[in-house]
Amino acid sequence: MTDIVVAPVAHACADFTVLYCLMNHENHQFAAWYDANHRITVGQRQLPDGAWKTFQPEGFWIAERERYSHITDFDSHNYLTMAVDSGGYLHLSGNMHVDPLIYFRSRQPLDVTTLECEPAMTGEREARATYPVFFKDVQGQLLFRYRDGCSGNGDDLYNIFDAERQQWTRLLETPLLNGEEARNGYARQPLLGPDGYWHMVWMWRETPHCETNNNLSYVRSRDLKRWEKSDGTPLALPIARHQGEIVDDAGIGGGLINMVQEVGFDNEARPVLIYHRYDDRGLSQAYLARPDGKGGWQKSQLSQWDFRWDFNGGGSIPPDVTLSAPRAIGNDQMAVEWTSTWAGSGVWIIDDRTLSVVATKPFIPSLPAELWQPRQNVAPHAEVQLIPAQNSDYRPQNRYWLRWEALPIFRDVAHEAKTGATLLEVVEVVGE
């Protein structure tokens, strides 16, 4: 028997969609969101049902934006992300799209009310930051990745945190991905696989326009410092397009989209990439790719769709196609969940050996359907946002979710419709 418990947190911004954050740490739960006035707000409670305590940290003035760093605009890039280091200190970043690095750290362990704005991490290449990501290495050390530059012209940088000295330094002396001042790489966060390697997939982009994505690429590492191709060939850093391992050489206008690229693993712990591109007819299709161990890639087209997701231009766009990372399900099979604006949804069952689809099943959401239905009367076109909590050690969990309702992604400009606030809620799945 499964019970669903929905508990209110606070009121939040509803006039555009931007991702918030829910994080579990031992018996503590933390959240970060924007209030109805677009101000960064953080909260914490004791699990399982403690009262929420909230706080609004102060930032700095951003002259070129004519706003403070703790106030956001209508940019869906400006998500919020949190972390807890080995000493229990809280870290918060976000609200950046080619902006000065915005970063807060608590002065006391496990206390959001002591979060203070830090002027810098390393103090270098922090004037044009986007896409902050916290994660941890196998030793539990806190890492931070962000892009320096802009869409079509940027590099990926990695920092590491010394918990004893409370200080950030560079993990790598150079960027990991180098756009050569001509492009940038849109990469997924490095993922630690069951084979002991960190795996990363990305594509390049030539301009701020999403249709200029090109050349799906891959790299792996044992320690996040030394990187290599799928056959073990070492790569010198930084990795530029001409020296990386290209999985699919789809060119500009070829249908690669940075929202749809993931790394999964088959039943033998081998990495399997999933991505979207156009076929020879110019139609949208989903593909798998797996290293053959000889420097090549085994590829397979999964879908037989008859539509074209014709994305273009700049700014945030809605995910009209989604593809989950392939996951091993035993019996020499993998599963991939997919959704599409034009073709509905489903689950592909895939043969491990051939990478071909052997069955298609209905897609059943992990949460009850009623949770996905708007019920707050925020606005006629408001959409439900439901994201899973993240454990502070980055192990998966499926018990806690953050729910709110907001107007949809809209190219990073304001909707004409006016909305009030949305009620931010924690959804808890209890029992089975």
Residue among 87, 121, 122, 120 at smallest CA distance from 106: 87
Q: How confident is the model at residue 432 (pLDDT cuts 50, 70, 90)?
A: low
Strand bridging mode 400-406 / 383-388: antiparallel
- Per-residue pLDDT of 295-313, as tens digits, reads 899 999 999 999 999 999 9
DSSP secondary structure of 282-345: S-EEEEEEEE-SSS-EEEEE-----------SSS----SEEEPPPEEEETTEEEEEEEETTTEE
- Distance (Å, whole) CA 418 – CA 179: 39
Tell me the average pLDDT of the chain.
97
Q: How confident is the model at residue 431 (pLDDT cuts 50, 70, 90)?
A: confident
- Distance (Å, whole) CA 128 – CA 208: 15
Q: How confident is the model at residue 257 (pLDDT cuts 50, 70, 90)?
A: very high
Q: Give pLDDT, residue 76.
A: 98
pTM confidence score: 0.97
- Per-residue pLDDT of 29-79, as tens digits, reads 999 999 999 999 999 999 999 999 999 999 999 999 999 999 999 999 999
What token pair was written down for 256? 């690669």
- Distance (Å, whole) CA 153 – CA 184: 5
Mean pLDDT of 172-192: 97
- Distance (Å, whole) CA 352 – CA 112: 46
Residue among 317, 318, 323, 313 at smallest CA distance from 348: 323
Mean pLDDT of 369-376: 96
Residue tagged 């949804």 (tokens): 345
Q: Which amino acid is at 265?
A: F
Q: How confident is the model at residue 192 (pLDDT cuts 50, 70, 90)?
A: very high
Residue among 244, 248, 127, 105 at smallest CA distance from 178: 244
Give the total number of structural domains in the chain: 1
Q: How confident is the model at residue 2 (pLDDT cuts 50, 70, 90)?
A: confident
Mean pLDDT of 280-290: 98
- Distance (Å, whole) CA 347 – CA 328: 13
- Distance (Å, whole) CA 201 – CA 219: 7
Q: What percent of the chain has pLDDT over 90?
A: 97
Q: Provide the domain limits for residue 378.
A: 2-431
- Per-residue pLDDT of 323-335, as tens digits, reads 999 999 999 999 9
What token pair was written down for 225? 């410092």
Q: Give pLDDT, residue 394.
A: 94
**How many C-beta atoms surround the C-beta of residue 268 within 10 A?**
11
- Distance (Å, whole) CA 421 – CA 35: 8
Evaluate if residue 351 carries a pLDDT over 70.
Answer: yes
Calculate Rg over the CA atoms of the chain: 21
- Supply the CATH number for residue 318's domain: 2.130.10
Strand bridging mode 390-391 / 21-25: parallel
Sign of the alpha-carbon dihedral angle for 80, 81, 87, 88: positive
- Per-residue pLDDT of 70-103, as tens digits, reads 999 999 999 999 999 999 999 999 999 999 999 9
Q: Give pLDDT, residue 412.
A: 97
